């Protein structure tokens, strides 16, 4: 099966101007100003994308695939995500995390969910572990999980500087990152230790100390939610200037009820203004977790599920409201995460040989079509490939 996308304004993410893209099976076969194919002996679908943009499918490196939450009791456990919840946000690659609850939620379920979603059409990876230390694992050790389990690319999200954490020591953080690094080395994976940064006073302190007093390269430490408060974003900026990757949570914003947070698109702009290399900034949704709305007495009044839509929304704001060039904004939601995860340029790029993960946007940067590994998943802004049970 061949699909020929004609006349797209291609951002690879670098702007390539008006191009045709030939999709062969799940891969991009060729990108050229004009591709003509004799249709008489091939099954070929041609799609005219005149006036539209083709960009790499978004990569979301932090999603609660089996549901997050549960922090207001059992009734508040968020259900599993469905395929359309991923596709509707233009996302074609996700990394699953367990989250707060490492007791009633299990890594085996997360692995099964990741495999199921892969069968349904998107690309999936996962972290072993949950918030706590010692980490929950599948095989008994972080290192073994990374080496033995195909989808496991690191450990996380381990909670740091948070009232829900295990109050990890510097020594424990070093041990954890070493396990991740060694597992990664032996299996050809990135071997990342991914840290949930809470609202605590400690901030990145222990992580910075773990790096300063060990031989572990900074790229293995990957903190998220760094835009949740001013002090943390300042610290994270310095961390990234020293070569670390930092993850801005697109779902954490004053507009979504997080007082004290920095709006994600503004956080990106601020980091860039302060000299943080663009290549070190990623954005994730923290999607399919729960968000509690509290009443004046401090009781949970309403529970909401966080969606993945914050990724395309913040990308759009970056370009249309904050004036960042499209290609630069794309790095934060595609290429940088692919590089961190060791997937670039198979993911996070539009080039011959890359996976055919393509988001098509209209001139207002609104999603119009999505291809995941060459299969059309969204058309005219509507998800056309649904999950098995939706
Ligand atoms: Zn978290």
Give the domain extent around 75: 58-340
pLDDT of 237-247, one tens digit each? 999 999 999 99
Together in a domain, 51 and 62: no
Return the closest-CA partner of residue 1 out of 375, 380, 377, 386: 375
Distance CA 327, CA 100 (A): 35
Together in a domain, 247 and 359: no
Distance CA 35, CA 19 (A): 9
Together in a domain, 287 and 355: no
* Distance from residue 157's CA to the centre of ligand 1 (Å): 6
* Distance from residue 203's CA to the centre of ligand 1 (Å): 14
Together in a domain, 16 and 161: no
Distance CA 121, CA 77 (A): 26
Distance CA 241, CA 89 (A): 30
Let me know how long the chain is: 390
pLDDT of 212-235, one tens digit each? 999 999 999 999 999 999 999 999
Residues contacting residue 28 through CB under 8 Å, at least 6 positions apart: 21, 22, 350, 351, 352, 353, 354, 355, 356, 358
DSSP line for 240-273: HHTT--EEEETT--GGGT-TT---HHHHHHHHHH
Q: Is residue 61 within 8 Å of residue 283, measured between CB atoms?
A: no
Average pLDDT over residues 304-312: 94
Q: Is residue 222 part of a domain?
A: yes
Together in a domain, 104 and 36: no
Together in a domain, 264 and 307: yes
* Distance from residue 351's CA to the centre of ligand 1 (Å): 33
* Distance from residue 63's CA to the centre of ligand 1 (Å): 9
Tell me which residues are annotated as active site: 286
pLDDT of 278-292, one tens digit each? 999 999 999 999 877
Domain count, the chain: 2
* Confidence (pLDDT) at 1: 82
Q: CA of 315: how far to CAs of 30, 186, 284, 309, 377, in Å?
A: 27, 35, 11, 10, 20
Number of other CB atoms surrounding residue 199 within 10 Å: 15
* Distance from residue 132's CA to the centre of ligand 1 (Å): 12
* 294: pLDDT strictly greater than 90: no
Please list all protein residues whose beta carbon sits less than 5 angstroms from ligand 1, which is an ion.
157, 196
Say which CATH number the domain at 48 has. Answer: 2.30.40.10
Q: Is 17 left (phi over 0), alpha (psi -120 to 50) or beta?
A: left
Which element (helix H / strand E) includes 358? Answer: strand 358-361
* Distance from residue 359's CA to the centre of ligand 1 (Å): 27
């Amino acid at each position: 099966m061949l699909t020929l996308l004609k006349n797209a304004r291609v951002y690879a993410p670098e702007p390539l101007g008006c191009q045709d893209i030939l999709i062969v099976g799940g891969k991009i076969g060729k990108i050229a100003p004009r591709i003509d194919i004799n249709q008489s002996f091939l099954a070929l679908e041609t799609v005219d994308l005149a006036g539209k943009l083709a960009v790499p499918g978004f990569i979301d490196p932090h999603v609660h695939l089996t549901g997050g939450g549960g922090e207001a009791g059992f009734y508040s456990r968020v259900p599993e995500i469905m395929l359309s919840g991923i596709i509707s946000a233009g996302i074609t690659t996700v990394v699953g995390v367990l989250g707060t609850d490492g007791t009633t939620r299990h890594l085996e379920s997360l692995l099964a969910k990741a495999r199921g979603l892969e069968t349904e059409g998107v690309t999936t990876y996962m972290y072993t572990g949950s918030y706590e230390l010692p980490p929950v694992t599948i095989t008994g050790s972080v290192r073994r999980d990374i080496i033995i389990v195909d989808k496991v690319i690191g450990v996380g999200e381990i909670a740091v500087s948070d009232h829900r954490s295990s109050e990890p020591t510097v020594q424990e953080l070093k041990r954890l990152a070493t396990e991740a690094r060694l597992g990664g080395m032996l299996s050809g994976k990135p071997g990342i230790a991914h840290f949930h940064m809470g609202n605590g006073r400690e901030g990145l302190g222990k992580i910075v100390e773990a790096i300063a007093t060990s031989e572990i390269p900074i790229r293995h430490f990957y903190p998220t939610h760094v835009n949740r408060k001013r002090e943390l974003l300042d610290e994270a900026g310095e961390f990234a200037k020293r070569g670390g990757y930092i993850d801005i949570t697109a779902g954490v914003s004053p507009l979504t009820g997080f007082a004290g947070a920095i709006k994600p698109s503004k956080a990106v702009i601020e980091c860039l203004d302060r000299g943080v290399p663009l290549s070190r900034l990623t954005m994730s949704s923290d999607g399919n977790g729960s968000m509690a709305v509290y009443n004046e007495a401090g009781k949970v009044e309403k529970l909401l599920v966080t969606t993945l839509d914050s990724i395309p929304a913040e990308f759009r704001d970056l370009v249309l409201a904050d004036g960042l060039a499209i290609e630069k904004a794309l790095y934060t939601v595609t290429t940088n995460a692919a590089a961190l995860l060791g997937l670039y340029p198979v993911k996070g790029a539009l080039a011959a040989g890359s996976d055919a993960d393509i988001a098509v946007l209209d001139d207002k940067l609104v999603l119009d079509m999505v291809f995941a590994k060459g299969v059309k998943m969204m058309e005219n802004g509507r998800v056309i490939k649904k999950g098995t049970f939706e």
